[in-house]
Structure 1
Amino acid sequence: MALDEESARTGVPVWWVAFAMAVDKLRAEYPEDFSAWGVNPDQRSGTVWFVGAVPEGVSDRFAGIGGVTLRGDYGVKEIVYQQFASDLHRELTEHLGSLATFSTYADDDRRVIVVEYGRSVAGDPVTKRTASLIEQATEGLALPTGFAVEYVPMDVSLIAAPELLHGARVIADVCTGAFPVKRKGGNELGILTAGHCPGTGSYDGTPDAFHSPYPYSISTESGPGGGDFRWNHSKYGLSGLTFVGHGRPLAVFNSRAGVTSGVHVCGYGKTTDRKCGNVAACDVNTTATVPDNGVTYIVGGLCRMQAAMTAPGDSGGPWFVGSTAVGVHHGRAWPGGPSAFSRVNNALWKTRVNLVIDAAGNTIP
């Protein structure tokens, strides 16, 4: 992943970014062997697991990163338990139509499939009877090897929280959010932003606003379908509205589209506010060096503007044409160069989310 002169100042642990990018490549190259990965609380070390033995030569992939432990004999492929979590969500939806808020996901580090449930359609906390029905619906299911199911009631303070968060507000004081999103096939809500921005922290002044990063929530890739983006799993409801500039009404982005050179687009960032200009070129690849370890990354699929019109802190902000979402701000196309953004279509596809258009969590495909 490229860290340009803007994104490198966000204060995000660059080790984490380098590790995540290496894992993305490893997952693609070893689909039958790859099992799981995790980042330790220090954000400077982590572990990668494999179904059986660690494939020969894999350790060389992490030689320039450091702090990585490789382990074998996990016993199950990542795609198997991730698919189980997705199928379980559909199963619960059929049995528990009265629930408006619940989600399922795999915590591969602890080897559990988490079922997190919240309030009913009426807005009340889930009753003991409904919680019992959730557990009954999972009885007898063939779990992935070594996994168990864990039932977690959502924190009461979060269930009752009145906050509805908007898109494009400040993330952890160092980045800008982009559009409100919802996970495909699930109820998890979040804020789209840049991949090099924090995955946890405060949002619009609300402390500890996000859950731990959701699986597949970050993608930093080269090539025409690539880009620099992630979505942060919100603990709060989303309004479906996005901030697009001081003194301007909040906007709903009810469509998304690709862009090409010559298109006039506008963007918002916490540092420079609203700005507009013409796209100079797309499918731009940029290369930069991570300051802490000297590792060089390539990000592709970027669209660059004709001029530099952004500054540190704008990273992750939205780019748009009218009510159509087109991009997520990356930084500069090269050090000292013009501003550049990732295509929103790539971001939504790679991170498996859709744009949210209202407080009910409705989305556009």
Structure 2
Amino acid sequence: MPSGGGVRPAVWAICSPLRCGLPYTVEVQTGAPLAWKDLLQVQESMYMAVVAADGVGNAISEVDPATDEIRFTYSVAPDKEVDPASLLGTALKAAASTGRTVASVPVRFTEVPEIRSQDQATIKGGHWLTDSSANACTSGFTITVGGLNGVATAMHCPNYMGYEGASGVIAYRNAASTTSSGANIDLQWHSTIAGNTTSTKFQADFSEERNVDSASNAMNDDPICNFGKGKNYQLCGTIYRLAVCRQGSLYWCGQAVTEENITVSGDSGGPWYLGNVAKGIHSGLVELDNDGITRSAYTPQTRVGENLGGNVKTS
């Protein structure tokens, strides 16, 4: 509660670690900015601490690329309470544990009644992956890990799935490693079983296949497209945020989010791309900024290398 009593405003903390002693808006300190990679490590450490904090029901986090402000939006679990000062202290302790110089990083906390975030779980990319219970996802791009060929999809999809309904084609290998901060990355991969071949092609629309010529990450405001078997056609949008943590079946970090929702259930694991350039693997949905807008979220393709130890196959 703010000093002097009264009802705590929705946005109750905007501060830097040098001035974060009270749960209300304080002056933002300025200084040398962190490198983007270090900023993400700080964000992920703080996010994992926030979602584990007593009374927190759900939380999402994002980084404003213009200001490097780390934003947290959280809801309170039923019949629970969240002490703002305690939550803030927990987050800042986690930030300090990274060993990064974080005195110049602004942080914002916003409490909301409800968080909207979910996964979308319904050899080439863009094909059906199904298990014995008819759970369905979409294959992402084909990849190579440790000399083995295979295909990537979302970690929240079932581990043991057939390719287009057929067994004996792919075999589950492993999920993505967690980050150094303990955050989860929504990726897993399946190797191609001997006797089958692996192509660099992916389905980009109902009746269109493309080769992957290269792989690179999207930047803010870039155009981007998705294909998933849930909707079975291509839709395109625009990148809105690049560093988002959200809750689905696990707490996912390192995700990119579009301006709008262009995906449906069953699209999970499917390819995000622009032309013939691989951009990422579909994950789910999230609402940011408490604005009532549901947006699509995916895992950037660089996480194949960072957390699966492989690379996207290109022609």
TM range, smaller chain = 0.5 to 0.7
* Structure number with higher strand proportion: 2
Cα displacement string for residues 254-305 of structure 1 (whole angstroms, at most 9, x for unaligned residues): 21112222010001100122110001111011124x4xxxxxx421111111
Cα displacement string for residues 159-213 of structure 1 (whole angstroms, at most 9, x for unaligned residues): xxxxxx22220001500001011113x2x211111011123221123224222x3
Q: Which amino acid in the other structure matches residue 329 of structure 1?
A: H
Kindly tell me the number of residue pairs found equivalent between the two proteins.
Answer: 183
Match of 2:102 in 1: none
Q: Does 1:229 align with 2:187?
A: yes
Match of 1:153 in 2: none
Superposition map of 1:112-151 within 5 A: none
Cα distance change, pair 218–224 in 1 and its aligned pair in 2 (3 A)? closer
CA distance in 2, matches of 1:237, 1:279: 34
* TM-score of the superposed pair, with normalisation by structure 1: 0.46
CA contact (8 A) 1:279 1:306 kept: yes
CA distance in 2, matches of 1:301, 1:201: 25
RMSD of Structure 2 on Structure 1 (CA): 2.6
Match of 1:189 in 2: 149
Match of 2:235 in 1: 275
Match of 1:323 in 2: 276
CA contact (8 A) 1:169 1:203 kept: yes
CA distance in 1, matches of 2:183, 2:300: 9
CA distance in 2, matches of 1:257, 1:348: 12
Residue 306 of structure 2 aligns to a residue whose secondary structure is helix
Q: Does 1:339 align with 2:296?
A: yes
CA distance in 1, matches of 2:287, 2:264: 13
The structural deviation recorded for 1:220 is 5.5
CA distance in 1, matches of 2:205, 2:261: 18
Match of 2:159 in 1: 199
Match of 2:126 in 1: 168
CA distance in 2, matches of 1:332, 1:221: 21
Runs of 4+ in structure 1 deviating by more than 4 angstroms, as ranges, are 220-226
Share of identical aligned residues, percent? 23
Cα distance change, pair 309–252 in 1 and its aligned pair in 2 (3 A)? same
CA distance in 2, matches of 1:225, 1:320: 25
Q: Which amino acid in the other structure matches residue 218 of structure 1?
A: A
Cα distance change, pair 178–285 in 1 and its aligned pair in 2 (3 A)? same
CA contact (8 A) 2:124 2:139 kept: no
Cα distance change, pair 224–203 in 1 and its aligned pair in 2 (3 A)? same
Residue 239 of structure 1 aligns to a residue whose secondary structure is coil
Q: Which amino acid in the other structure matches residue 251 of structure 1?
A: R
CA contact (8 A) 2:241 2:258 kept: yes
CA contact (8 A) 2:245 2:251 kept: yes
CA contact (8 A) 1:222 1:300 kept: no
Match of 2:26 in 1: none
Q: Which amino acid in the other structure matches residue 347 of structure 1?
A: V
Match of 1:177 in 2: 139
Residue 349 of structure 1 aligns to a residue whose secondary structure is helix
CA contact (8 A) 1:219 1:228 kept: no
Superposition map of 1:214-363 within 5 A: 214=173, 216-219=174-177, 227-235=185-193, 236-248=196-208, 250-272=209-231, 273-288=233-248, 290=249, 297-334=250-287, 337-358=294-315
Cα distance change, pair 254–167 in 1 and its aligned pair in 2 (3 A)? same
CA contact (8 A) 1:199 1:210 kept: no
CA distance in 1, matches of 2:229, 2:178: 22
Residue 307 of structure 2 aligns to a residue whose secondary structure is helix
CA distance in 2, matches of 1:237, 1:225: 33
Question: Where does the alignment leave 5 or more consecutive residues of structure 1 unmatched?
Answer: 1-24, 26-164, 291-296, 359-365
Cα distance change, pair 224–346 in 1 and its aligned pair in 2 (3 A)? farther
Q: Which amino acid in the other structure matches residue 176 of structure 1?
A: T
Q: Which amino acid in the other structure matches residue 310 of structure 2?
A: V
Cα distance change, pair 199–234 in 1 and its aligned pair in 2 (3 A)? farther
CA contact (8 A) 1:195 1:219 kept: no
CA contact (8 A) 1:189 1:234 kept: yes
* Structure number with higher helix proportion: 1
